[in-house]
Amino acid sequence: MKNLWGLILGILVGGSAILNAYSAVFASIPEDITLPQYNSVSCNFTQVKTIPNSSAEVKSGGIFKYSADNGVIFETTYPVKATTAYTSEQSKKISEIISAIRRKDSTYLNQNFDLNYIKNEKDWRLSLKPKSTSNTAKLMTSIIIEGAHYINRIDINTIKSGTTKINFTGCTSQ
């Protein structure tokens, strides 16, 4: 389950200086948002995971792949080689969240999360805070996704597993 939240984990990427630079804040996902709508994306990724009650960090990286048909795959190349796949069959909840963001499905997202979407001329930021009635609230406190043309960063804050920050670079789409 820890790897599951390390994704958003999957696909899916702030202080007051960032917030002050944005021109619009929305309580749900507006129709004209600039979230990526690709059928498949490949990126390099780096990930830093903090360990709760410790100053220790675990760093990893590799290749991230997303396919609308097949889900999310992280091919970690360091510090050890490993492949983690998040497909509809393996992780229905993550696939539902990713699909809802991709489809701009405010109904699903509003049922499960408090949303905060911030946009300026070139960047956007989507914050998802699980509602107390959602099963996700038992596992995490928030997901923050930032991007422009592609998702650039995802921050996942969990209750027991610490914080995971995933940065994406060199993205290409098909």
pLDDT digits (tens, 9 = 90+) for 84-139: 887 655 455 666 776 777 777 778 888 888 988 888 888 889 899 999 988 888 88
Predicted structure pTM score: 0.75
| 3-state DSSP assignment of residue 149 | coil
Provide the mean pLDDT of the chain: 76
pLDDT at 77: 96
pLDDT at 160: 85
What's the average model confidence in pLDDT over 13-34? 44
Q: Given this structure, which CATH class describes domain 2-173?
A: mainly beta
Q: Tell me which residue of 109, 147, 148 sits closest to 130, measured CA to CA.
A: 109
Q: Where are the domains of the chain?
A: 2-173
